[in-house]
A = this chain, B = another copy of it.
Amino acid sequence: MKFCSECGYSVSLRIPPDDDRQRHVCDDCHHIHYENPRVIVGVLPTYGSKVLLCKRAIEPRKGFWTIPAGFLENGESTADGASRETWEEARAKVGECSLYCVFDLPYINQVYMFFRAEMSSDEFSAGPESLDVALYEEQDIPWSELAFPVVTSSLKYYYQDRQSGVFPTRNEVMLFKRPRNG
């Protein structure tokens, strides 16, 4: 950030009164510009014993498999945003979304909120950000070709929890940047 979005004047990094960290502050109108983490919402879509994965058509990690997810938009709930992303990336409709995995990625200022949801039918297809979309049984999951650690962790939790049929909301801080197996 170099200029004030309110008045167009230059900004400087300084600690405002009653604050304890540096912010971009306008040198003219003194508006304080706060920058905060963003929320990524997604769905682990299931269809019976299968899960739906998308092969990424865009960077980062183009060609690797992920679950449908993207930035939460203003004006929508996290579950609505997760359903929207599932439609945009996999052209799949899902039923009720249950909050399942919450991941903190503080090194990139992101919070991930993934839901579990059963697909309304077995209809799906690749949206513009996907090269391919496919339903996978557990033994066929392409573990070495998963796009992100949050995807690997979510699937591991899912197959672990499926044994008991109880899916508590998981909460984990991620401190690494690349899949350990990728």
Which A residues are within 8 Å of any B CB, using their own CB? 1-11, 18, 21, 24, 33-39, 71-80, 98-99, 102, 104, 106-107, 109, 111, 113, 128, 168-169, 171, 173
Cβ contact within 8 Å between A71 and B34: yes
Q: B35, B38, B99: which contacts A171 (Cβ < 8 A)?
A: B99
Considering the chains assembled together, what is the distance between the CA atoms of A79 and B79 in angstroms? 21
How many monomers of this chain does the complex have? Answer: 2
**Once the chains bind, are A7 and B3 in contact (CB under 8 Å)?**
yes
User: Given contacts A3-B4, A3-B8, is CB(A111)–CB(B168) below 8 Å?
Assistant: no
Are A21 and B73 interface neighbours, CB within 8 A?
A: yes
Q: How far does the Cβ of A22 sit from chain B's closest Cβ, in whole Å?
A: 11
Contacts of A37 in B (CB 8 A): 39, 72-74
Cβ contact of A36, chosen from B4, B24, B39, cutoff 8 A = B39
